[in-house]
Chain A
Amino acid sequence: MTTSSMNQPEESGANGGGKPGQYYSYGIPYLSISDYPGKLLAIEGTDGVGRSTQIRLLREWLEVQGYGVIETGWTRSELMSPTIDLAKSSNTLNKLTFVLLYATDFADRLEKEIIPALKAGFIVLSDRYIFTALARAGVRGVDRTWIRNLYGFGIAPHLVFYLRIDEKTLIRRVLQSRGMDYWESGMDMKLGDDIYESFRAYQRALLKEYASMSDEFSFRVLDARRRVEVIQDELRRQIAGFLAEPDSPAPIATKSE
């Protein structure tokens, strides 16, 4: 799947995974981020995998240990939120402007939230990350190399957890929670008049995109069909292992206390 992008030279974008804590590619020349003490942890996954529940529990757990934690999400920047809402509600958005609006939003949050937090030594928990954009663009047929170059100013997370579910579970969970919305059903792609069929085809294609990125971006894949506590334990075990590495920030509370 990723052959075309894998063959590109390392410099050509957000492919090849990047070095944790560094820009994927060209980066932002006026913002040097080397040696920042903070850590960036991304929780990826489709709708209905319980990302926000897991992040809430992780935050609690990390803060008890004395880590400073900041959460960031997808499409929440002050600058772009109103515009994205407006654009989604109108019919003029196409795949290219769709991708660019989200990239602008990400740039705003990266420069104003993520980078300052990493500089100040926080653990940044990102509810979705650039992979959401790459998956949505991939489904819509946006050029793989182009979108990876576009996100070349992104910072490669220290850890990426991909909460994976199967198509059937995904569809049921989305229908249960908030139902099908126009964009999440891929109705802009005009896959068919039947909303359910369009929705199913879209979600299936999304899962395929995520699967194709697993190796490329070194996802740590977790089965999200299990109980919340089981997934949380797994996340904590892996994060604890990472934070125990020598260059990680030390918690306030040690185990003996």
Chain B
Amino acid sequence: MEGIDGSGKTTQLALLAKWLKAAGHPVFQTEWNSSALVKAATKTGKKKNALTPMTFSLLHATDFADRLLYNVIPPLKAGMIVLADRYTYTAFARDAARGVDRRWVRELYSFAVKPDLAVYFRVPIDVSLDRLLARRVKLKFYEAGMDMGWSSQPLESFRIFQGKVLDEYDRLVDEYGLSLVNAAGSITDQQRVFRRLVSQHLEIAHHDDLVDESA
């Protein structure tokens, strides 16, 4: 699941997981930047605002590698459905928006497993800002791209930075064939589209299972 902050993808993911579990599918969830391995460095770096676009990128790649090996590949091998709240496309979009070379970051992540389905929850910046401001007082430093020094106003900085991130995501839709969900729509409408996309892949997987058993 991909999308900028405030796109509602985490809500959508939670609803999808409920549906899958209710249907009897084993589900495993993993979240961007959540490994214990790099937590200390990320925290120190963020607190001191000491991260450059390159170290920001590499720390996230380290986190990703750690989770890939512990939280993605083993559950896949065990036949589970892995739901990833953000995947490599987040790095492609954010790092490029920060000025890191696009080709370099793509090659950096070439060790990743290609997802069976990548869904992009696309939302205009104003909608995402409304959602974020409705539940939080302050925009986070890196989330708002404050490290780039484009604006000293968090709101303005968020607009500029996330605008660039959205542009990068738009490139990725074609490049990697991301499935689009209009994330400005109602929660239930989005979930309906989302479930339809996912169910197509589940049918294929089910069919494969039957072939395997007969072989």
> Which residues of A are interface residues toward B (Cβ below 8 A)?
13, 25-30, 78-80, 82-83, 86-87, 92-94, 96-97, 100-101, 103-104, 107-108, 110-112, 143, 146, 149-150, 152-153
Alpha-carbon distance A126/B100, docked complex (angstroms): 25
Known: A83-B41, A153-B54. 19 other contacts (CB 8 A): A13-B107, A28-B101, A30-B53, A30-B98, A79-B45, A83-B37, A87-B37, A93-B37, A96-B65, A96-B111, A97-B69, A100-B61, A100-B65, A107-B52, A111-B52, A111-B54, A146-B107, A146-B110, A153-B104
The residue from B36, B62, B70, B111 contacting A146, defined by CB atoms under 8 A apart: B111
B70 CB contacts on chain A under 8 angstroms: 92
B108 within 8 A of A: yes
> Could you name 15 residue pairs across A and B whose Cβ atoms are closer than 8 Å?
A25-B104, A26-B103, A27-B101, A28-B101, A29-B101, A30-B99, A94-B69, A96-B65, A96-B69, A97-B62, A97-B69, A104-B55, A104-B59, A150-B107, A152-B104
B33 → chain A closest CB, angstroms: 14
B100 CB contacts on chain A under 8 angstroms: 28-30
B184 within 8 A of A: no
B52 CB contacts on chain A under 8 angstroms: 107-108, 111-112
B104 CB contacts on chain A under 8 angstroms: 25-26, 149, 152-153
Alpha-carbon distance A30/B99, docked complex (angstroms): 6
B199 within 8 A of A: no
B196 → chain A closest CB, angstroms: 35
Cβ contact within 8 Å between B101 and A82: no
What DSSP secondary structure best describes chain B's contact surface? helix
Alpha-carbon distance A30/B98, docked complex (angstroms): 9
Give the top 9 A-B pairs by smallest Cβ distance, nearest first: A30-B99, A104-B58, A100-B62, A26-B101, A83-B41, A26-B104, A149-B107, A107-B54, A96-B65
Cβ contact within 8 Å between B107 and A97: no
Cβ contact within 8 Å between B54 and A92: no
B37 CB contacts on chain A under 8 angstroms: 83, 87, 92-93, 97, 101
B66 within 8 A of A: yes
Chain B, interface size category, equals: 20 to 34
- Within residues 86 to 105 of chain B, which ones have a CB less than 8 A from any CB in chain A? 98-101, 103-104
A28 CB contacts on chain B under 8 angstroms: 54, 100-101
The residue from B55, B66, B98 contacting A107, defined by CB atoms under 8 A apart: B55
Cβ contact within 8 Å between B99 and A86: no
Cβ contact within 8 Å between A108 and B40: no
Alpha-carbon distance A29/B53, docked complex (angstroms): 10
Alpha-carbon distance A152/B99, docked complex (angstroms): 15
Residues A79 and B41 in contact in the complex (CB < 8 Å), given A26-B101, A26-B103, A26-B104: yes
Greatest chain B CB density within 10 A among A82, A100, A107, A110 is at: A100
B66 CB contacts on chain A under 8 angstroms: 92, 97
Alpha-carbon distance A146/B65, docked complex (angstroms): 14
Greatest chain B CB density within 10 A among A30, A83, A94 is at: A83
B127 within 8 A of A: no
A111 CB contacts on chain B under 8 angstroms: 52, 54-55
Alpha-carbon distance A151/B61, docked complex (angstroms): 14
B44 CB contacts on chain A under 8 angstroms: 79, 82
The residue from B38, B51, B110 contacting A83, defined by CB atoms under 8 A apart: B38
Alpha-carbon distance A103/B62, docked complex (angstroms): 9
Cβ contact within 8 Å between B101 and A104: no
B53 CB contacts on chain A under 8 angstroms: 30
A30 CB contacts on chain B under 8 angstroms: 53, 98-100
